[in-house]
Amino acid sequence: MNFDLKKMIEMYDQVLRQGHRTEIARELRDEDDLFFILCYSEMLGIPNPAFYYTLELYPHILERFHEWHLRMGMDKSPINGFRCC
């Protein structure tokens, strides 16, 4: 009996999420883009008071940098001396 109830709850959860997956994915992508702009703003010439604190994040987000600048419509890296392509 417990197994059936658990399965029904999972199905109910999936039905609720199904219509919102695209919206959730878009919101997460927009938040990631904003975060990348915040992290790389100093390199793009925009003053960033939190630059010192974002330096530690670069090694962790470097792998996703290429995907980000392509999604932003930049064919090549916008940062001089920073090649990812």
More confident residue, 78 or 71: 71
Residues 40-58: tens digit of each pLDDT: 888 778 888 888 888 888 8
Contact 58, 40 (CB under 8 A): no
Is 74 strand, coil or helix?
A: coil
Cα separation of the two ends of the chain: 55
pTM for the full predicted model: 0.60
Q: Give the domain ranges of the chain.
A: 1-72
Residue 2 has pLDDT above 70, yes or no: no
> Mean pLDDT over residues 25-38, rounded?
89
